[in-house]
A and B are shown apart, each in its own frame.
Chain A
Amino acid sequence: AQRVTQPEKLLSVFKGAPVELKCNYSYSGSPELFWYVQYSRQRLQLLLRHISRESIKGFTADLNKGETSFHLKKPFAQEEDSAMYYCALRNQGGKLIFGQGTELSVKP
Chain B
Amino acid sequence: DTEVTQTPKHLVMGMTNKKSLKCEQHMGHRAMYWYKQKAKKPPELMFVYSYEKLSINESVPSRFSPECPNSSLLNLHLHALQPEDSALYLCASSQEPGLTYEQYFGPGTRLTVT
Contacts and interface: CB of A to CB of B under 8 A. Distances in A.
Q: Do A and B come from one complex?
A: yes
Interface of A: 32, 42-46, 49, 51, 84, 86, 88, 90, 92-96, 98-101, 103
B56 A95 contact: yes
Interface of B: 31, 40-43, 45, 48, 56, 90, 97-100, 102-103, 105-108
Given A43-B105, A43-B107, A43-B108, A94 B42 contact: no
Contacts of A43: 90, 105-108
Given A46-B102, A94-B97, A95-B56, A101 B48 contact: no
Chain B interface SS verdict (over half): loop
A95 B92 CA distance: 12
Nearest to B43: A98
B105 A45 contact: yes
Given A43-B108, A46-B103, A92 B42 contact: no
Contacts of B90: 43-44
Contact of A94 (B31, B41, B106, B107): B31
Given A43-B106, A98-B43, 8 more contacts: A43-B105, A43-B108, A86-B43, A93-B56, A93-B98, A94-B31, A94-B99, A100-B41
